[in-house]
Amino acid sequence: MSAEFPFPCCRCGYCCLVETCPAGQFFFGVGRYSLCPGLSFQDDQAVCQIALIDLEIIGGGAGCCIKARAVKGDKVYDFASLPVDLKKDLAQALRRRKAA
Ligand code: SF4
Ligand code: SF4
């Protein structure tokens, strides 16, 4: 696995909810901060319509790509290294906010 993506992807969908990737912007004609029309969730796992056709188009499969830092109290966490359940909880909270 690449040193750039040392943590596995749990398909929480957070990255796609935060912004639409270049491939999504191109294929769906939406802006970076528009909700990607290619994103859906099945059994709480993110599904990308483009990846279903060809994973290489979106460069998926390398690992978690979120470089964000999460701060709780005086501790700083790397999003990619968070436990799977916490990643999914954060993604669900963002989904609810985007749907409101
Ligand atoms: S095209 Fe796929 S990888 Fe890109 S933002 Fe949309 S759902 Fe995510
Ligand atoms: S935020 Fe990380 S773990 Fe979640 S879907 Fe994106 S790459 Fe995978």
Tens-place pLDDT, residues 29-50:
999 999 999 999 999 899 999 9
Give the domain extent around 59.
14-99
| Total of domains in the chain | 1
- Does residue 7 lie within any of the structural domains? no
Spell out which residues line ligand 2, taking CB within 6 angstroms. 9-15, 46, 64-66, 87
- Does residue 1 lie within any of the structural domains? no
What is the distance in A from the centroid of ligand 2 to the CA of 74?
Answer: 24
Local confidence band at 2 (pLDDT 50, 70, 90 cut-offs): very low
- Does residue 21 lie within any of the structural domains? yes
pLDDT of residue 4: 67
- Does residue 44 lie within any of the structural domains? yes
How far is C-alpha 3 from the geometric centre of its chain's CA atoms?
Answer: 18
What is the distance in A from the centroid of ligand 1 to the CA of 95?
Answer: 14
Amino acid type, 85:
D
- Does residue 3 lie within any of the structural domains? no
* b/e code 72-89 from CB counts within 10 Å (16+ = b): eeeeeeebbebeeeebbe
- Does residue 82 lie within any of the structural domains? yes
- Does residue 43 lie within any of the structural domains? yes
